[in-house]
């Protein structure tokens, strides 16, 4: 939209109808809307979309959402033109009062008003349908009732979700009582006596029409890619950390969120201690925090760097904490000295920023994968660079999350570039390796795979990119984190003989 006086470009993208009216065929042409006064002229053709001309009332200049009886329209200001779908055929079970809804087009605005159109004429304006912008509207064709969702503080008279009659004259407001304030709704859907509500907090809430009872069906991270991922050493739990400043504890068996910690700053990495009683979280501002799992209280925190912490690791003997950052360094902290988190040493000669880190089984060595795609091994806690290849080959690693090294040479495909593979993880049994790449694929390899272009299995689900991946305890599941989709996928491992 162009917010100029007397000139607003509105672009409409019309999505397919709900299941009740599916089967509508998209037309091959486009409709463009042109408004002047109280009228809306429709032009058919393939030319550029028309502008809204003339003196348009202020409340109509910034439409947010459109819905109609036969199609559901959502404004898309990033695309040119608008696509129109044909109406669905008549349904034998449709009530007569639904015909009123089918002949109307409703347009919500950023000021909270809802405009009702009949063909190309503006019939009336429902002023202040919500106190804030109306982001979502849904029309049920069988009874003509309309659900709106927007930004509105819960009160006795109002709520973020409202159910209207077909004339938009009477409504019933629903307050989303889920234990926290929910005042911004982004999506709504209605069917079988229930209303599904998608919120700005990445939640899907189910609301009963009769008793207004609310239950949260889905939780999630609000914004930004999910970078941090850690699985519990003995239970089917895992942690996720994202740039929305939250760390969430998930239960794989019950498929639900167990707890949530709001840090206030973007989180980049998270790690469990070997006993599972402590959690370390690396932040984007260079700070790291250590929490007690039992109470989720801060045990200690420190900030010795000013750049993002890319990886953080407990040593297998739980004595040292290694913190790798974008400042081409790895800092070692002695946890036995208490929550003051005194730095005892660091690795200084790292050629680039840290990508992944892994401790050896005896806690004496640390392998570091760097941004220049070179793998280095350092002594703990002195930070001395180990250069002897024979000594490196004799090291047994407690974990393996590195994408570099002869042991994982086969994960790189024939046409892959260095930045295409983002993460890797070896199973606890040491026989399998999973990777995540920039193409949204999760790949399963045998470990080790020292030969180039190793055979593997591919699994699709994520959109680009897969940012992190981990095996759970007992290798029963694999958890992968997405970047652009902000999603967490749990894959069940099926063990089959070779």
The token pair at 243 is 């740039």
Query: Which distant-in-sequence residues (6+ apart) come within 8 Å of 185 by Cβ?
Result: 135, 136, 149, 150, 151, 160, 161, 176, 197, 198, 199, 200
- Of the candidates 274, 265, 258, 201, the residue with the CA atom closest to the CA atom of residue 228: 265
Q: 309 is written with which tokens? A: 């912490």
Token digits of residue 64 = 């947010």
Kind and range of the H or E element at 57?
none
Q: 396 near 426, Cβ under 8 Å? A: no
Q: What are the DSSP calls for 340-393, one per residue?
A: T--EEEEE---SS-EEEEEEBTTSSEEEEEETTS-EEEEETTT-PEE--HHHHH
- Which secondary structure element, helix H or strand E, spans residue 362, and what is its range? none
Residue-wise DSSP of 34-47:
EEETTEEEEEEESS
Q: Could you give the C-alpha distances from 178 to 136, 153, 206, 221, 354, in angstroms and in order?
A: 20, 14, 10, 17, 40
- CB–CB of 150/83 below 8 Å? no
Q: Give the length of the chain.
A: 498
Place of tokens 């942690």: 239
Structure tokens, 15: 């999505």
The full set of domains in the chain, from first to last, is 12-218 (2.120.10), 226-492 (2.130.10.10)
Residue 61: per-residue pLDDT: 45
User: Which residues are CB-neighbours of 59 under 8 A, at least 6 positions away?
Assistant: 109, 111, 113, 115, 125, 127
- What are 354's two structure tokens? 């840290």
pLDDT recorded at residue 282: 97
C-alpha to C-alpha distance for 276 and 421, rounded to whole angstroms: 29
pLDDT for the residue 68: 63
**Conformational region of residue 295, where left means phi above 0, alpha means psi within -120 to 50, and beta covers everything else:** alpha
DSSP sequence for 234-265: SSSEEEEEETTSEEEEEETTTTEEEEEEE-SS
Contacts of 144 (CB under 8 A, 6+ apart): 69, 95, 97, 98, 100, 101, 165, 166
- Name the residue among 250, 225, 245 with its Cα closest to residue 287: 245
Report d(CA 318, CA 378) in Å as an integer.
Answer: 18
Q: Is 445 left (phi over 0), alpha (psi -120 to 50) or beta?
A: beta
Digit-by-digit pLDDT tens for the chain (498 residues) are 323 222 222 222 222 222 222 223 333 333 334 444 444 444 444 333 333 333 344 444 455 676 765 443 333 333 332 222 333 334 444 444 444 555 678 888 888 999 888 877 888 899 989 989 999 999 888 888 999 999 988 777 778 999 999 888 888 999 888 877 777 899 999 998 999 999 988 889 999 999 989 999 988 898 889 999 999 999 999 999 999 999 999 999 998 999 999 998 999 999 999 999 999 999 999 999 999 998 889 999 999 999 999 999 999 999 999 999 999 999 999 999 999 999 999 998 899 999 999 999 999 999 999 999 999 999 999 999 999 999 999 999 999 999 999 999 999 988 877 778 999 999 999 999 999 999 999 999 999 999 999 999 999 999 888 999 999 999 999 999 998 888 999 999 987 655
**Nearest Cα residue to 389 out of 373, 409, 400, 375:** 375
Q: How far apart are CA 424 and CA 440, in angstroms?
A: 13
DSSP helix/strand/coil, 430: coil
Contact between 429 and 435 (Cβ < 8 Å): no
Confidence (pTM): 0.77
- H or E segment and range at residue 490: strand 488-492
CA gyration radius for the chain? 28
Please give the Cα distance from 169 to 126 (Å, whole number): 8
Whole-angstrom distance between the N-terminal and C-terminal Cα of the chain? 58
Contacts (Cβ under 8 Å, ≥6 apart) of 476: 236, 492, 493
131: its two tokens: 């106190």
Helix (H/G/I), strand (E/B), else coil: 434: strand
């Amino acid at each position: 939209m162009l917010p100029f006086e007397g000139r607003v470009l509105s672009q409409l993208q019309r999505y397919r109808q709900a299941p009740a009216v599916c089967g509508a065929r998209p037309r091959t042409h486009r409709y463009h809307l042109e408004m002047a006064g109280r009228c809306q002229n429709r032009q058919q053709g393939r030319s550029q979309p028309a502008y809204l001309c003339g003196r348009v009332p202020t409340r109509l200049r910034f439409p947010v959402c459109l819905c109609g009886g036969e199609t559901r329209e959502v404004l898309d200001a990033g695309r040119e033109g608008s696509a129109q779908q044909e109406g669905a055929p008549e349904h034998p079970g449709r009530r007569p009062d639904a015909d009123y809804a089918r002949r109307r087009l409703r347009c919500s605005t950023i000021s909270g008003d809802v405009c009702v159109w009949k063909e190309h004429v503006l019939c009336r304006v429902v002023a202040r349908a919500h106190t804030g912008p109306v982001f979502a509207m849904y029309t049920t064709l069988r009874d003509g009732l309309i659900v709106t969702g927007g930004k509105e503080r819960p009160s006795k008279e109002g709520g973020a979700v409202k159910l209207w009659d077909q004339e938009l004259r009477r409504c019933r407001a629903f307050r989303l009582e889920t234990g926290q304030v929910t005042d911004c709704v982004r999506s709504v859907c209605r069917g079988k006596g229930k209303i599904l509500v998608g919120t700005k907090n990445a939640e899907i809430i189910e609301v009963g029409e009769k008793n207004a009872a609310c239950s949260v069906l889905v939780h999630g991270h609000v914004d930004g890619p999910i970078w941090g991922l850690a699985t519990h050493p003995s239970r089917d739990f895992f942690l996720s950390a994202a740039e929305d400043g939250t760390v969430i504890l998930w239960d794989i068996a019950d498929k639900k969120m167990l707890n949530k910690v709001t840090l206030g700053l973007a989180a980049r990495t998270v790690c469990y201690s070997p006993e599972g009683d402590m959690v370390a979280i690396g932040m984007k501002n260079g700070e790291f925090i250590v929490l007690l799992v039992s109470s989720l209280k801060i045990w200690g925190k420190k900030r010795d760097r000013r750049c993002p912490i890319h990886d953080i690791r407990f040593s297998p003997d739980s004595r040292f904490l290694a913190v790798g950052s974008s400042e081409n360094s790895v800092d070692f902290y002695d946890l036995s000295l208490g929550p003051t988190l005194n730095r005892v040493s660091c690795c200084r000669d790292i050629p680039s920023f840290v990508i992944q880190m892994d401790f050896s089984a005896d806690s004496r060595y640390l392998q570091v994968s760097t941004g220049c795609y070179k793998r280095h091994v350092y002594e703990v806690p002195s930070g001395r660079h180990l250069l002897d290849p024979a000594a490196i080959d004799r090291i047994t690693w407690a974990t393996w999350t590195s994408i570099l090294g002869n042991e994982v040479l086969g994960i790189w495909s024939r046409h892959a570039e260095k930045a295409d593979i983002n993460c890797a993880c070896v199973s606890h049994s040491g026989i399998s390796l999973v990777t995540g790449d920039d193409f949204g694929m999760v790949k399963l390899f045998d470990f080790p795979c020292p030969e180039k272009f190793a055979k593997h299995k591919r699994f699709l689900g994520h959109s680009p990119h897969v940012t992190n991946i981990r095996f759970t305890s007992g290798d029963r599941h694999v958890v992968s984190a997405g970047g652009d989709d902000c999603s967490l996928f749990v894959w069940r491992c099926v063990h089959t003989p070779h």
